[in-house]
A and B are shown apart, each in its own frame.
Chain A
Amino acid sequence: GDSVTQMEGPVTLSEEAFLTINCTYTATGYPSLFWYVQYPGEGLQLLLKATKADDKGSNKGFEATYRKETTSFHLEKGSVQVSDSAVYFCALKGAGSYQLTFGKGTKLSVIP
């Protein structure tokens, strides 16, 4: 079945540091890939998505590129802020499936 593996946290960075959260997946066919963010006490918000190979999703300074050859969708940001502190989830949705398959989440803490 489909699965998502993302780097385990927690990750602690200083403000303005570079962020990478690794995400790899296993799926049949050509899934769509997502990054969701969950701020403390809130629900999940879509951060960005990509629907086909080599697509780059971007939002709020975050980027991720759909790499089919390495089955990866790593999240990056060039300069993190304290307000980026949250839990980040990588997810996929296979073609022909209703279900989103999530990774376990990576908690990011950014310190001033």
Chain B
Amino acid sequence: DAGITQSPRHKVTETGTPVTLRCHQTENHRYMYWYRQDPGHGLRLIHYSYGVKDTDKGEVSDGYSVSRSKTEDFLLTLESATSSQTSVYFCAISESGFYGGEETQYFGPGTRLLVL
């Protein structure tokens, strides 16, 4: 199993509060991703990173920001949480990204977030 941990694993918060989710990897992979999983939607990409301090937006980035100050850590911040951000959030990593079309992404265990 890829060495990926996410914290916290479960969180309940109130609308309007900031929330930060952490993804930590021990594989030294260059690429990291944040997805959200919602019923009827599969998984959708929020943001990704292709190196330290190098990040870009995915399909559903509104209301989210990310930071990556170290290779091993990728943080996802909900600047002001809303009920529509209630979801399960998955971090993923891959060794290469853009040029490796076949590159496999490995997923963490997920964080279940409830915004009241």
A: which residues have CB within 8 A of B? 4, 30-32, 34, 36, 42-46, 49, 51, 89, 91, 93-100, 102-105
- In the assembled complex, how far is the CB of residue B99 from the closest CB belonging to chain A, in whole angstroms? 8
What sequence of 0s and 1s flags, for each residue 77-116 of chain B, a beta carbon within 8 Å of any chain A beta carbon? 0000000000000101000011101111111111000000
Selected contact of B43 from candidates A45, A96, A102, CB within 8 Å: A102
What sequence of 0s and 1s flags, for each residue 7-37 of chain B, a beta carbon within 8 Å of any chain A beta carbon? 0000000000000000000000001010100
- Per the CB 8 Å criterion, the residue count for chain B at the interface is 29
- Asked if B107 and A104 make an inter-chain contact with CB atoms under 8 angstroms apart, the answer reads no
- In the assembled complex, how far is the CB of residue A106 from the closest CB belonging to chain B, in whole angstroms? 10
- In the assembled complex, how far is the CB of residue B43 from the closest CB belonging to chain A, in whole angstroms? 5
- Asked if A93 and B48 make an inter-chain contact with CB atoms under 8 angstroms apart, the answer reads no
